[in-house]
Structure 1
Amino acid sequence: MSFKVLAAFFCYYIVLSEAQLQKGFYQLSCGFAETIVKQEVRNAFFRDSGIAAGLIRLHFHDCFVRGCDGSVLIDSTGSNTAEKDSPPNNPSLRGFEVVDAIKRRLEVSCPGVVSCADILAYAARDSVEITRGLGYDVLAGRRDGRVSLASEALSNLPPPSFNVDQLTRAFANKGLSQDEMVTLSGAHTLGRSHCTSFNNRLYNFSTSSMQDPTLDLAYASQLKQQCPQGSANPNLVVPMDPPTPAVSDVSYYRGVLANRGLFTSDQTLLTSPQTRAQVLQNAQNQFLWWRKFAGAMVSMGNIGVITGGAGEIRRDCRVING
């Protein structure tokens, strides 16, 4: 088979896969599905505004491992360590109990109809909206996968230590552009991080001062107070975007421009002329970033989806059927 024929076949497969996801997929089979998801996300957000960031991150961490198939929700067993218990996910991932609450209600209203993968996609969209971001149509029809391996989370999820080239390759491997990578990085405007994810920038960097020289000095001093060196507390957390940690806005990009990106993977966006220009553009135009972020979330939600008769519709998002 020639390269052109192979490329054409691959493109056709992607288009076909995406075409099987539809707006209003559950309109006839479970008409209140999106309403139920939205209600439970809202209830959880009013209890804890940080849960919105958790649900967006759950969707991202699901899609980057085996595609958007709900595999991040599966519990470990005695014979298998699942994605959620891999170091990139445990203990930082949260929002599982919200998905559980949504699934319970959906199983009462329309048992065996709405997939856990689609719940994640809807909940992420609703989390963007409730934090004052721009809403978007979620194309649904994903089926749930039956495999979840901690080792695959470790090898597929880009760590906070990645530089811009590594990030670009990691996103390209999932079919996402460099611009979409910079756009989706803006999700760090929401939520919190464990100190262990960036402590190396404060105390163990490869300079004589042991501190990352790209980190704003005042911000570094503040972080050191919040994350003391040698602390034995693994649960210390700080907001990723201190000015507005519960609002989907461009404060994140302004922080990066001020050398206040929390992770190496944030601050590295200034090291490439292309990504630096995108950071600057986003920082100056909030509506533009809102619109780009909505589009990038739709693109991300199409990664590796399984549809039709493949996979299953899990009755309990934590457990494979049967």
Structure 2
Amino acid sequence: MVGGPFYKVRLGRKDGFISEASRVFRNLPLVSHTMDDIINIFAKKGFTIDEMVALTGGHTIGFSHCKEFADRIFHYSKTRPTDPDIYPKFAAALQQTCANYTTDRSMAAFNDVMTPGKFDNVYFQNLQRGLGLLRTDQALVKDPRTKAAVDRFAADQKAFFDAFSHAMEKLSVLDVKTGPKGEVRRRCDAFNSIQT
């Protein structure tokens, strides 16, 4: 629907019998993490740096709440009002968008300001221009370990699509439950045993 690549999704993956928010957050990168932290999170799951960068390219669609990047656009430091890695006009626009974010927690901005409704490689091109919304996204173009993948995906959408598809297929079989350790749910938001 948004123009992204096709990839195979294996059927019958089982869901676990434990569903707790605390288990989610310790397995996902946060905007407060360093690039070392993020690379380690993905490495512990068996993902290479290129696969991590490709998966992060999923930020080509969607949005982030202002609270996730407010520290980059309001009072960045004692000497700088905004993060110097953000393109100044973009920072000013984000300040307007998020002016009341402390009272309206629903305020948000698109992760990809140029083509927010299209799955493409413009997200990576944005990073090269200082248009990365999240600090962790913008860090991808600054870190020498990730910059080569950003540059490759920015220049070649097919390379991004191929890498993203491969990484998503790999992600789909991560920590697969077998036998009695899980179930194929009839409804994804409820355990089979407690459904009516």
- TM (norm. structure 2) is 0.92
Q: Aligned to 2:92, what secondary structure does the other structure show? A: helix
**Maintained 8 Å contact 2:53/2:146:** yes
Q: What is the rounded CA distance, in whole Å, between the counterparts of 2:85 and 2:176 in structure 1? A: 38
Deviations 1:48-79 (A, max 9, x none): xxxxxxxxxxxxxxxxxxxxxxxxxxxxxxxx
Which of 241, 244, 251 is the aligned partner of 2:115? Answer: 244
Which residue pairs with 1:149 in the alignment? 20
Q: What is the rounded CA distance, in whole Å, between the counterparts of 1:234 and 1:252 in structure 2? A: 25
Q: Which amino acid aligns with 1:283?
A: A
Which residue pairs with 2:98 in the alignment? 227
Q: Which amino acid aligns with 2:145?
A: Q
Q: What is the rounded CA distance, in whole Å, between the counterparts of 1:239 and 1:230 in structure 2? A: 15
**Deviation of the 1:230 alpha carbon:** 6.0
Q: What is the rounded CA distance, in whole Å, between the counterparts of 2:21 and 2:102 in structure 1? A: 27
Q: Aligned to 1:156, what secondary structure does the other structure show? A: coil
**Deviation of the 1:284 alpha carbon:** 0.4
Whose relative contact order is higher, 1 or 2, with alpha carbons under 8 Å and at least 6 apart?
2
**Deviation of the 1:308 alpha carbon:** 3.5
**Deviation of the 1:137 alpha carbon:** 1.4
**Maintained 8 Å contact 1:203/1:229:** no
Alignment of 1:127-146 (within 5 A): 130-146=1-17
**Maintained 8 Å contact 1:219/1:260:** yes
Q: What is the rounded CA distance, in whole Å, between the counterparts of 1:137 and 1:230 in structure 2? A: 39
In structure 2, the CA distance between the partners of 1:204 and 1:173, relative to structure 1 (3 Å rule), is farther
**Maintained 8 Å contact 2:66/2:101:** no
Q: Which amino acid aligns with 2:46?
A: G
Deviations 1:151-172 (A, max 9, x none): 2222221112323211111111
Q: Which amino acid aligns with 1:221?
A: A
Which residue pairs with 2:40 in the alignment? 169
Which of 296, 304, 309 is the aligned partner of 2:175? Answer: 304
Deviations 1:55-105 (A, max 9, x none): xxxxxxxxxxxxxxxxxxxxxxxxxxxxxxxxxxxxxxxxxxxxxxxxxxx
**Deviation of the 1:271 alpha carbon:** 2.3
Q: What is the rounded CA distance, in whole Å, between the counterparts of 1:191 and 1:266 in structure 2? A: 14
Which residue pairs with 1:183 in the alignment? 54
Alignment of 1:62-211 (within 5 A): 130-211=1-82
**Deviation of the 1:266 alpha carbon:** 0.5
Q: Which amino acid aligns with 1:160?
A: V
Q: Which amino acid aligns with 1:247?
A: K
Q: Is 1:289 the counterpart of 2:168 in the alignment?
A: no
* Identity within the alignment, %: 35
Count residues in correspondence: 193
Q: What is the rounded CA distance, in whole Å, between the counterparts of 1:255 and 1:159 in structure 2? A: 20
The structure having more radius of gyration, on CA atoms, is: 1
**Deviating 4+ runs (over 4 angstroms):** none
**Maintained 8 Å contact 1:141/1:307:** no
In structure 2, the CA distance between the partners of 1:204 and 1:152, relative to structure 1 (3 Å rule), is farther
Alignment of 1:4-43 (within 5 A): none
Which residue pairs with 1:265 in the alignment? 136
- TM (norm. structure 1) is 0.57
Which residue pairs with 1:102 in the alignment? none
Q: What is the rounded CA distance, in whole Å, between the counterparts of 1:173 and 1:160 in structure 2? A: 19
**Deviation of the 1:177 alpha carbon:** 0.9
